[in-house]
Structure 1
Amino acid sequence: MKPMREASAPVPQQIARRCPACGRVSAASDRCLYCWRDIAGVAPLPPDEAASAPKVPASLARSREQKFTLGRILRYASLALVLLLVGWWTYDVFVAKPPRPHVPSSTARSAAPGAWSTQDGDNRGTRATSAPAHIDGVEAWRTTLGSPAATALVTDGRSVIAPLQDGRLVSLDAASGKTLWTANLTLDNPPLSAPAIAGDRIYIAQREGLVLALDAANGKEVWRRAVAESFESSPLVADGVVYVSHEDGLVALDAEDGRTLWDHPLDVVAANVTPVIEGNYLVIATANKAIVFDRTTGEDVYYVSFSRSRPSSVGIRDGDVVAVYGRTATAFETSTRHPWWMKIVNANLGGDALRSFWFRMYIYRMAPRPPVEVTLWHLNSLSRRTMGAAFGEDIVVAAVPDGTATALRDGQQVWSAKTGRLLTTPVMTGDGVLFIEDGRLRLLDAGTGEQRAERNIDGLQWASPTHAATYIATADGDVAALR
């Protein structure tokens, strides 16, 4: 008798569902194996329909499931990377601050206040002083140096420093005109702009790209630093820091030993205007913009753009900056800031190139008007190429070499005057506007432009007014004091 065969267990029927999106059937899966739509909530097909419906082979189903899992991992990883990059960019543009500048060895050294200790009188670059012009004064002394002065004379009230065209630097006693010492500069080349006196040191930016510190008592070299290819502007000394502008940017040096505290690269191109300082703000004039820096951080915080032109002068008084570029003069506040989105434009979208393209599209009426920079006033109708400007509390006097002078108040012309051929930018003195003409000093009333006095001086080249005297230099190599 043959043994009975045991009945085989029934094969469980796989659950199959039809995808509502693509209409295909997938078995043993909560997700469509064709389009990966979630079908867990779709009702299973009846057994007979499920048996006859074409299904994805198990091996292909596993392969597609693996690809789906890998794709999901890649999507999440890409999203995390994008979030990381956005977070880093946001921090870099809006949160991060540049490294704080190194602290100088001492904060005691600054350009002497109340004297004519820099190219433009003081660190503010206003070419203004409360001292009288001494235009009617007597000649207290005259010294012959044998070579004309190469730059303006500077003084701290004790000595008068004269850089000469033959490469010598001469110190004269301010009271008597007696020669205190003479030093020969590097390669016998005079600087292109005046030295700065700060305490017992004299700082010179040489045309060879050297910054020199000399002992004011004897003219001996204390230190030197090679910083740039050349310098056209004067050094500026404030709170123990020497600031020098050159064609590659702005550098801050320790006034005691010359070590670099910070270096801010810039496409300056034209670096012929000495930077200016008031409080925590430093302003530099480049070829196409006046830039405001925070001295405590070394960060540029605001700027005003100009048509590409060689700057003539920049000055600051009570937080207001006046910059002169060619026929254009603009006043703005150091406390002004650009909109937040300008940081994005400057940091990531090309900055100047994008603004230039935007402006061109605006001219062709293909884009809205670019945002206007915030200024106190703007004037673009000065006479020809302006030499620079001197300004007091409420008036700015700009002049051109042919002697045309224009006085401005809040950007509006107050008066215009015609003088002789000018040798340098006017000076705002305590008793009027002093013009240094070819062979003559002329004093005009600051409020009306009317002449108050004049004095002929043969070969006049430079004049630096102080409370003690107005120190003049002539083409014959003489230096004299008017009191």
Structure 2
Amino acid sequence: MVDTEINSIVCGTCERVIKAGVKRCSYCLTDIRAVEPLSGDDAVLAQMHRARVVRRNSRRRLAIKSFQITCGFLLLFVCMFWTYATFISSAGTLPISTTNLSGRLSADTGWENSDGGSGRLRRSLYGSRIEQPIAWQTQLPANAETSLVADSQHLYVSLSNGLLIAYSQLDGSEIWRKQFEDFLLAAPLAVEKMLIVPSANGILYALDSSNGNELWSVQAGNLLESTPLIYDGRIYLFGKDTWYVLDAGNGEKLWQKDMDTVVHKSGRRFESPVMNDHYIAVGLGQKLLIFDRLTGEQTYWYNSVSFPTKIAIDNDEVISISPWLIFSVDEDSQNPWWEGRLRSLWLQLYVWGVAPPTPLPDRLWGNFNPPRLYFAPAVGSDSIYVAGERGSRLSTDALLQSYNRKDGSINWKKTIPQITSAPLITSDGLLIAAGPMLVLLDPESGEEIQLLDYKENVSSPISIESGTYYIVGGKNIQALK
């Protein structure tokens, strides 16, 4: 009921209607002696207006309270989900394969991929043998398309015409050859008695390394341009924005992971995959990505500004080289919870002057401007050696640099007229193909120890238990014993 009392007063502070004749508002204690009283219809209208205001405010308080409760539940859900995903949940391991074939982190009796082993360290337990005479040489029917790889008995080379040939390490005689329908853009993987061959048309082949007979083949993607990795019978194969895990025993696809192209914005292939007992590291777009080997879950990423194309992993350390930066990260590194899209927002707020600078992603060290058009690094226990076809954008000479593994500082640099292959660490020095010359350098100083001149460009030197092998003029394999 609306109070129709004559001679009412409307409080100017709380707008409540009270009886005239009092000194203070009974609701808010405001002094109302100077307020003119209302009478008749004016008092009734004031009372009705106050009732509407009360109802409106009540509805507003109810809506605000409901919104606060909803936001509270939403925040609680997000916090619980983040806590579970970060500290409690664990991804299941990848399916088990039918075999236990595994590769090696670095070279031993063989040279299983273009850089020696799954760590791509380019270091050998054996000497360069550069002082020895040529033991044998054999002519290739076409130019070599990829680097030499080897197991304990044979050398393997892919040619520009799609031909794959196996040669004896003993005397260079041909053991077998196999013609493929498409180009072989990546070196095969030689492991125990199996040769795994990626082809440009997306088919992955497994061959018997003793005779070249096909064991199995599988269509794994549209284009395969990198050598796969293998561990515990699982083949890790990298295509374009997708990577696969296959059973080395029969080629069955056990698992695949499609990368988030919205986040990585790459539209590119994976670059230089490497692996150790625990992790896989690979370049994609402008990022170095690290994955758990057993679960396939991504554990870390680092934005290197430009495309990381050469990567190595050794002693819990991942080394990555891009055109503008060489850097090192701990394999166990983790991105903070706000990494990703929030970093971009934080950076924008910093540009506007309303936020502090964004912290750099976790890394051990970094050094800008490695040699241009660089080859794969050779990773020693204390130093990293990086060679490039040019020292800088304005230089015509090639450059070889040694970096300290502790802090990334440059130990020494050496200008060479021409470099035609990645450096190789041997037991007696640093071996590098310098145009028509095979050169052995002192790894501590870069000083020349010995040199062989072949008149034609030398490439793909490898050093294994049975000998040192390299290609001269693109079509001639030579051996030092």
Q: How does 1:65-144 map to 2 (within 5 A)?
A: 78-96=67-85, 97=89, 99-106=91-98, 108-112=100-104, 114=108, 115-144=110-139
Going from structure 1 to structure 2, the CA distance change for 1:295 and 1:267 (only over 3 Å counts) comes to: farther
Q: Kindly tell me the number of residue pairs found equivalent between the two proteins.
A: 444
Asked if 1 retains the 8 angstrom alpha-carbon contact of 2:279 and 2:331, the reply is yes
Going from structure 1 to structure 2, the CA distance change for 1:382 and 1:268 (only over 3 Å counts) comes to: same
Match of 1:254 in 2: 247
The one of 308, 313, 335 equivalent to 1:311 is 308
Match of 2:383 in 1: 395
Match of 1:462 in 2: 460
Question: 1:22-56: CA deviations, max 9, x gaps?
Answer: 34359xxxxxxxxxxxx9xxxxxxxxx9x999679
Deviation at 1:270, TM superposition (A): 4.7
Deviation at 1:75, TM superposition (A): 5.7
Match of 1:177 in 2: 172
Asked if 1 retains the 8 angstrom alpha-carbon contact of 2:182 and 2:199, the reply is no
Q: How does 1:321-400 map to 2 (within 5 A)?
A: 321-338=318-335, 340=336, 343-346=337-340, 349=342, 353-354=344-345, 357=348, 361=351, 368-400=356-388
Output the amino acid matched with 1:189: F
The one of 446, 449, 455 equivalent to 2:443 is 446
Match of 2:291 in 1: 293
Deviation at 1:64, TM superposition (A): 10
Match of 1:36 in 2: none
Asked if 2 retains the 8 angstrom alpha-carbon contact of 1:170 and 1:179, the reply is yes
Going from structure 1 to structure 2, the CA distance change for 1:99 and 1:80 (only over 3 Å counts) comes to: farther
Match of 1:479 in 2: 477
Deviation at 1:480, TM superposition (A): 3.0
Output the amino acid matched with 2:431: L
Match of 1:151 in 2: 146
Asked if 1 retains the 8 angstrom alpha-carbon contact of 2:115 and 2:376, the reply is no
Partners of 1:316 and 1:476 in 2: how far apart? 29
Going from structure 1 to structure 2, the CA distance change for 1:394 and 1:60 (only over 3 Å counts) comes to: same
Partners of 2:51 and 2:203 in 1: how far apart? 74
Partners of 1:328 and 1:345 in 2: how far apart? 21
Going from structure 1 to structure 2, the CA distance change for 1:183 and 1:356 (only over 3 Å counts) comes to: farther
Match of 2:30 in 1: none
SS for the counterpart of 1:95 is helix
How large is the RMSD of aligned CA atoms in angstroms? 3.8
SS for the counterpart of 2:74 is helix
Match of 1:218 in 2: 211
Output the amino acid matched with 1:24: R
Partners of 1:471 and 1:437 in 2: how far apart? 15
Output the amino acid matched with 2:203: L
Matched, 1:405 2:397: no
Going from structure 1 to structure 2, the CA distance change for 1:75 and 1:285 (only over 3 Å counts) comes to: same
Match of 1:234 in 2: 227
Gaps of 5+ in 1: 1-12, 27-38, 40-48
Question: 1:54-87: CA deviations, max 9, x gaps?
Answer: 6799999999999999878766664554344334
Deviation at 1:459, TM superposition (A): 4.5
SS for the counterpart of 1:449 is coil
Match of 2:183 in 1: 189
Partners of 2:122 and 2:300 in 1: how far apart? 23
State TM-score, norm by structure 1: 0.79
Match of 2:392 in 1: none
Asked if 2 retains the 8 angstrom alpha-carbon contact of 1:324 and 1:330, the reply is yes
Q: Which moved more, 1:55-64 or 1:274-283?
A: 55-64
Partners of 1:272 and 1:435 in 2: how far apart? 27
Partners of 1:474 and 1:356 in 2: how far apart? 51
Asked if 2 retains the 8 angstrom alpha-carbon contact of 1:102 and 1:262, the reply is no
Deviation at 1:447, TM superposition (A): 0.7
Output the amino acid matched with 2:136: W
Asked if 1 retains the 8 angstrom alpha-carbon contact of 2:94 and 2:296, the reply is no
Matched, 1:244 2:242: no
Output the amino acid matched with 1:108: N
SS for the counterpart of 1:283 is strand
SS for the counterpart of 2:272 is coil
Deviation at 1:416, TM superposition (A): 1.8
Q: Which has the larger radius of gyration?
A: 1
The one of 420, 425, 428 equivalent to 1:431 is 428
Partners of 1:70 and 1:215 in 2: how far apart? 79
SS for the counterpart of 2:311 is strand
Question: 1:312-363: CA deviations, max 9, x gaps?
Answer: 411111012221111421122112333x3xx2342x64x5x4466467x28x
Partners of 1:19 and 1:354 in 2: how far apart? 49
Partners of 1:253 and 1:93 in 2: how far apart? 32
SS for the counterpart of 2:117 is coil
Partners of 1:205 and 1:180 in 2: how far apart? 21
Going from structure 1 to structure 2, the CA distance change for 1:214 and 1:407 (only over 3 Å counts) comes to: same
Matched, 1:162 2:154: no
The one of 412, 415, 429 equivalent to 2:412 is 415
Q: Give the percent of matched residue pairs that are identical in Structure 1 and Structure 2.
A: 22
Partners of 1:101 and 1:140 in 2: how far apart? 48
Match of 1:320 in 2: 317
Partners of 2:254 and 2:197 in 1: how far apart? 16
SS for the counterpart of 1:274 is strand
Asked if 1 retains the 8 angstrom alpha-carbon contact of 2:224 and 2:238, the reply is yes
SS for the counterpart of 1:86 is helix
Q: Which moved more, 1:99-108 or 1:231-240?
A: 99-108
Going from structure 1 to structure 2, the CA distance change for 1:131 and 1:368 (only over 3 Å counts) comes to: same
Q: Which moved more, 1:455-464 or 1:143-152?
A: 455-464
Match of 1:200 in 2: 193
Output the amino acid matched with 2:119: R
Output the amino acid matched with 1:472: Y
Match of 1:34 in 2: none
Asked if 2 retains the 8 angstrom alpha-carbon contact of 1:128 and 1:429, the reply is yes
